[in-house]
Structure 1
Amino acid sequence: MEKQVKSKQRVTDHGEVFTAEREVKAMCDLVADECLRIDSRFLEPACGDGNFLAEILTRKLTVVKSKYRKSSYDYERNAILALTSIYGVDLLSDNAANCRGRLFELWNKEYTSVCKKEANDEVRKAAKYILEANIVCGNALSMMCVDEHQQDTEQFITFPEWTFPFNDARIKRRDFRLDVLLKENPDDENYDGQFKLFSDDAMNIDNWMIDPQTNELVPKPIREYPLVHYRRMSENG
């Protein structure tokens, strides 16, 4: 039987109860088409040790394998793309660390199985770098990172957007504040101040910019990184 509770104390302190595998699969089935899109992004705001994210990644990697297993390069790049689409937040640092480890082991098992002798540690390092950025320890209600006592810090939760803009081996990273991403368009006439639990600073016009293609207000990245081969993305810092 699956273990859904680590300890009674954790349930009391944090309301921590893990979702059973049957329910995880059933809920993922509700968005089955999105789970099968390699680049479709998923965010789990209370990810625990990754029950939902592991199921989603498994489904994505099944698609990658079915489409690209005959080419190590194509499989490798698309397996990296699948990994970049998985995001999670958890209040407890051990859960966040366990989630990263679990997702990496799942990803690496498939990568090694398909690419065999062509699998290499440079790509594994890139995978770990992605997970370190995509799975964070924070408070998904306040949108702030937390300290070792699960208390909010002054640091906003930020997530990277990973893209392959030229559909080759070069990857682009842009970091965004989560609270800004989840805000409605501040220029929208229908905006009536929802999401009051988020920081009011998210609506600061300095956090937004005009998209040159659509001429709409969109979240402004807090940092952009130069294009780099996905195997060397960790060199960007």
Structure 2
Amino acid sequence: MASQVVSKKRVADHGEVYTREREVNAMLDLVKHETQRIESRFLEPACGTGNFLIEVLNRKLQVVETRYKRSQSDYERYAFIAVSSLYGIDILQDNIEACRQRLFEYFDAQYTRLFKGKCKEAFREIVRFLLRKNLIHGDALSLQTVEKNPRPIIFSEWSAINTSKIKRRDFVYAELVSHASLSELPLFSDLGEEVFVPRPVKEYPPVHYLRIADVD
């Protein structure tokens, strides 16, 4: 069993304690339906090396495989949606780098197992790009990046608009968090009532999912 603690100093400095797989699955089972919806978005604001996110990715890719394994192009489109739906923040750079690598290696193992020599390196690069964009070295309390000149954390929303094109919109994380804390309006509604509609700070033209990095 992997240790829950890297070092006492990291616990003291950052409160870093990893969640065991048993607890991860028990918590995700409380929202099991959402973990199996390919497009359902998840944010882990203290993601560590990805214990929660990798299990969500596992569940989503199982659904993608079951539905779309007979068509590589369909599998790639929906695997893109699954990966792009996962977001994370961590204050420690080694954690965020390990999380990106861990999620990529898990995705790549499933992709390679299914399609072997037919796998596209271009698609692998897009998955790496998504993980760099969605998993951020930042401080979930200050809502800023961790670097010499901190900037507000920006998250990109990736929305499929047809069978192959993706619409990207960038949002300031602090505005989303502020709304969640102060407003009574929900972000989403299935009942038709008034909802809060966040304003993007930047929008990008729709492009094929293999070309999203070209307009970054």
Taking structure 1 as the reference length, what is the TM-score of the superposition?
0.83
Q: Please state which structure has a larger fraction of its residues in helix.
A: 2
Summarize the Cα distance change of 1:216–1:86 in structure 2 as closer, same or farther, 3 Å threshold: closer
Are residues 1:125 and 2:120 paired?
Answer: no
Q: In the comparison of the two structures, how many residue pairs are matched? A: 209
Q: What is the identity percentage for the equivalent residue pairs of Structure 1 and Structure 2?
A: 47
Summarize the Cα distance change of 1:110–1:186 in structure 2 as closer, same or farther, 3 Å threshold: closer
What's the counterpart of residue 207 of structure 1?
none
| Structure 2 spans left out of the alignment, 5+ residues | 186-192
What's the counterpart of residue 140 of structure 1?
140
What's the counterpart of residue 171 of structure 2?
176
| Structure 1 spans left out of the alignment, 5+ residues | 192-213
What's the counterpart of residue 36 of structure 2?
36
What's the counterpart of residue 236 of structure 1?
215
Q: Distance in 2 between matches of 1:169 and 1:110?
A: 21
Contact 1:157 1:178 in 2 (8 A): yes
Summarize the Cα distance change of 1:50–1:217 in structure 2 as closer, same or farther, 3 Å threshold: closer
Aligned-residue RMSD, C-alpha: 2.0
Cα deviation for residue 12 of structure 1 reads: 1.2
Cα deviation for residue 154 of structure 1 reads: 4.0
Contact 1:159 1:178 in 2 (8 A): yes
Q: Distance in 2 between matches of 1:217 and 1:63?
A: 30
What's the counterpart of residue 153 of structure 2?
157
Contact 1:122 1:232 in 2 (8 A): no
Question: For residue 156 of structure 1, what is the amino acid of its counterpart?
Answer: P
Q: 4+ residue runs of structure 1 moved beyond 3 angstroms?
A: 185-188, 214-217
Q: Distance in 2 between matches of 1:115 and 1:231?
A: 17
Cα deviation for residue 42 of structure 1 reads: 0.2
What's the counterpart of residue 66 of structure 1?
66
What's the counterpart of residue 11 of structure 2?
11
Q: Distance in 1 between matches of 2:142 and 2:175?
A: 12
Cα deviation for residue 179 of structure 1 reads: 1.2
What's the counterpart of residue 107 of structure 2?
107
1:143-196, Cα deviation, whole Å (9 max, x unpaired)? 111127xxxx54111100001112x111111110111122338996x58xxxxx
SS at match of 1:218: coil
Q: Distance in 2 between matches of 1:25 and 1:54?
A: 11
Q: Distance in 1 between matches of 2:164 and 2:59?
A: 23
Summarize the Cα distance change of 1:171–1:99 in structure 2 as closer, same or farther, 3 Å threshold: same
Q: Distance in 2 between matches of 1:62 and 1:47?
A: 22
Question: For residue 28 of structure 1, what is the amino acid of its counterpart?
Answer: L
1:43-76, Cα deviation, whole Å (9 max, x unpaired)? 0000000000000000000000001111111111
Q: Distance in 2 between matches of 1:128 and 1:18?
A: 24
Cα deviation for residue 225 of structure 1 reads: 1.3
Taking structure 2 as the reference length, what is the TM-score of the superposition?
0.91
Q: Distance in 2 between matches of 1:234 and 1:132?
A: 11
What's the counterpart of residue 79 of structure 1?
79
Contact 1:41 1:85 in 2 (8 A): yes
Question: For residue 136 of structure 2, what is the amino acid of its counterpart?
Answer: V
